[in-house]
């Protein structure tokens, strides 16, 4: 435990950390469980946890105030908001809470591991609108971080040329995507996938059904190209997008079953999206 952790433990004293108190309520625990699987709108969370919208909104506000979830307006429907769990914050708070109870319970983060070799190589599809930035970055990161053990591709509902800032931000990470081709999602409509991740609220609304009934996950990530009017000014937004995608992908890879189709996960995701 470092000095910051020791100081936190001393400050807690006999009171449970705020993180523990937040998680202690069964509705908030259920909400966080659902958000670890996919970003969700309030209406979806209301259906998934079986509680009224007013109650769900109340508990989401507490989780947001506690820094465990964030929300942003949907780019597809401005009347809707998507909620996202801050997995890094939850991990750090959980580690600190363990150390506050006893030094031996200061948890060590799990490192990502490749999928089990006894299974066929899983297939993952990333979708966004233009296939020019977010999904291209995600494809490259998952391929790199999984050591090539996952067959990953990307596409868009309205493909555009590859954004130069996407190339630039990945080159800074030692990954060259300059020769990547942008593709329409129709190119993959009849193919088998274990996991389909939509990165754009708009493309989620038009995501087709796939014959293999893959697990469907949504990550609500703002298009970095909209952050500014010039490539130079929008580059920091591309860096933030790459950082967010890397964080999400690293957490995805800590679960060996996350990229494999499971009937339970598929039914839950499909049911919530309707």
Calpha distance 75→245 (Å, rounded): 18
- The token pair at 72 is 């942003």
Q: Which of these is catalytic: 63, 97, 128, 265?
A: 128
- The single residue of 200, 216, 252, 265 carrying the catalytic annotation is 200
Render the chain in DSSP notation, one character per residue.
--HHHHHHHHHHTTSPPHHHHHHTSHHHHHHHHHHHH--EEHHHHHHHHT--HHHHHHHHHHHHHTTSEEEEE-SS-TT-EEEEE-HHHHHHHHHHHHHHH-GGG---PPPP-PPPTTSPPPEEEEEESSSSSHHHHHHHHHHHHTTT-SEEEEEESS--PPPHHHHHHHHTTT---TTPPP-BGGGGTTS--SEEEE-SHHHHHTPPP-TT--EEEE-----GGGG-SSHHHHHHHHHHHHHHHHHHHHHHHTSTTTTS--HHHHHHHHHHH-
Q: Are 161 and 146 in contact (CB under 8 A)?
A: no
Whether 90 sits among the annotated catalytic residues: the reply is: no
| Token pair belonging to 99 | 């150390």
Instruction: List the end-to-end C-alpha distance of the chain, in Å, as a whole number.
Output: 46
Q: Residue 229 and residue 131: Cα distance in Å, rounded?
A: 19
Give yes or no for a contact between 245 and 221, defined as CB atoms under 8 angstroms apart: yes
Known catalytic residues are 128, 200, 207
């Amino acid at each position: 435990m470092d000095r910051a952790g020791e100081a936190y433990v001393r400050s807690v004293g006999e009171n449970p950390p705020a993180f523990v108190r937040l998680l202690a309520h069964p509705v908030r625990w259920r909400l966080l469980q659902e958000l670890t699987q996919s970003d969700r709108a309030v209406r979806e969370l209301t259906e998934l946890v079986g509680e009224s919208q007013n109650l769900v909104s109340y508990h989401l506000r507490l989780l947001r105030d506690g820094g465990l979830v964030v929300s942003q307006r949907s780019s597809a429907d401005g009347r809707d908001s998507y909620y996202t769990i801050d997995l890094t914050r939850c991990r750090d708070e959980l580690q600190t809470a363990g150390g506050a109870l006893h030094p031996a319970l200061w948890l060590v983060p799990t490192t990502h591991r490749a999928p089990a070799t006894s299974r066929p190589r899983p297939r993952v599809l990333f979708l966004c609108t233009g296939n020019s930035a977010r999904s291209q970055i995600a494809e490259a990161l998952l391929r790199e971080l999984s050591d090539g053990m996952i067959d990953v591709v990307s596409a868009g509902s309205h493909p555009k040329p590859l954004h130069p800032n996407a190339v630039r931000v990945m080159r800074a990470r030692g990954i060259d995507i300059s020769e990547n081709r942008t593709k329409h999602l129709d190119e993959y409509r009849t193919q088998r996938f274990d996991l389909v991740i939509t990165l754009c609220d708009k493309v989620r609304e038009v995501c087709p059904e796939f014959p293999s009934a893959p697990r469907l996950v949504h990550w609500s990530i703002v298009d970095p190209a909209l952050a500014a009017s010039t490539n130079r000014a929008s580059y920091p937004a591309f860096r933030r997008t790459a950082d967010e995608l890397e964080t999400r992908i690293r957490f995805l890879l800590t679960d060996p079953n996350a990229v494999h189709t499971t009937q339970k996960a598929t039914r839950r995701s499909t049911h919530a999206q309707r």
